[in-house]
A = this chain, B = another copy of it.
Amino acid sequence: VSTVRSARELARAEITRQITDEARRQLAEHGAAQLSLRAVGRALGMVSSAVYRYVSSRDDLLTALIVQAYDALGAHTEHAVAAAPPDDPPARWLAAAHAVRGWARAHPHEYALVYGSPVPGYVAPRATVPAASRVGLALIEVLLTAHHHGALATSPGHPGQAVPDHLEPDLAALVADLPPATAQRAVAAWTELFGLISFELFGHLVGVVADRDAFFDAAIRRTAHDLGLRPPG
């Protein structure tokens, strides 16, 4: 009985998937501003009002795409870290950074959707938070693992300067094991990573940086070093 029942449910799930797939395709091609429910329906051969059986509003669809983009980027980054040499902390950090950049360059409009200017009138629901956190958590995991293996040099910082805690409690708890100066640096490194990628994708390196690959790689290596990550041996 439950199989029969799920026949309709399966069809429903399948068409919902087709709708978000097509929406993602149009997002990738034309950007978030051009995304319209009518166009999605048209591409799937259904009348615009039919789309409303599956999606309650345009914002609803946008939210789905945002979560999917965060998840795709997060998964891509996690896999890259997992594939890096486990006992080489700087290599793991670099793998994460290059994974983020690689995904962003391959999906510029999806990247812009989540890391560019906020869509006017749209407020991201809390449901997006876990997906949005994956890259940050992957980076923290690299640092924590290095620290637990004793592969984290104590961050120099300003000699003798106290490190106040600017972070939110939840995050502070996550990085409690790290030296405070390293934790602060790590958040800055995280923003620098996305700053580099956004500047590249949004055209601000034109006339500034000639060799983007090498520049990015050098910047990230320097950051990894400044964070205290050291290769084995």
A residues within 8 Å of B by Cβ?
Answer: 30-31, 33-34, 112-113, 115-118, 120, 124, 129, 132, 136, 157-158, 164, 166-171, 184-185, 187-188, 191-196, 198-199, 202-204, 207-212, 214-215, 218-219, 221-222, 225-226
- The distance from the CB of A23 to the nearest CB of chain B, in whole angstroms, is 16
How many whole Å from A204's CB to the nearest CB in chain B?
Answer: 7
Contact A158 B225 (CB under 8 A): yes
Kindly list 16 other residue pairs between chains A and B, CB separation below 8 angstroms, not including A115-B202, A185-B222, A191-B192: A112-B117, A113-B117, A115-B204, A117-B117, A117-B202, A118-B202, A157-B222, A158-B221, A166-B214, A167-B210, A168-B210, A171-B207, A187-B215, A191-B196, A195-B195, A195-B198
- Give the nearest-CB partner of A171 in chain B: B208
In the complex this chain forms, how many copies of it are found? 2
Q: Are A208 and B187 in contact (CB under 8 A)?
A: yes
B207–A168 CB distance below 8 A: yes
What chain B residues lie within 8 Å of A221 (beta carbons)? Answer: 158
- 5 nearest A-B residue pairs (beta carbon): A195-B195, A116-B117, A112-B117, A166-B215, A192-B192
Residues of chain B contacted by A33 (CB below 8 angstroms): 33, 120
A146 to B59 alpha-carbon distance, docked (Å): 50
Q: Is there contact, CB below 8 Å, between A209 and B124?
A: no
Instruction: Please give the distance in Å from A205's CB to the nearest CB on chain B.
Output: 8
Question: Quick one: given A129-B207, A166-B211, A168-B208, are A219 and B188 in contact (CB under 8 Å)?
Answer: yes
- Given contacts A192-B195, A195-B194, A221-B158, are A208 and B167 in contact (CB under 8 A)? yes
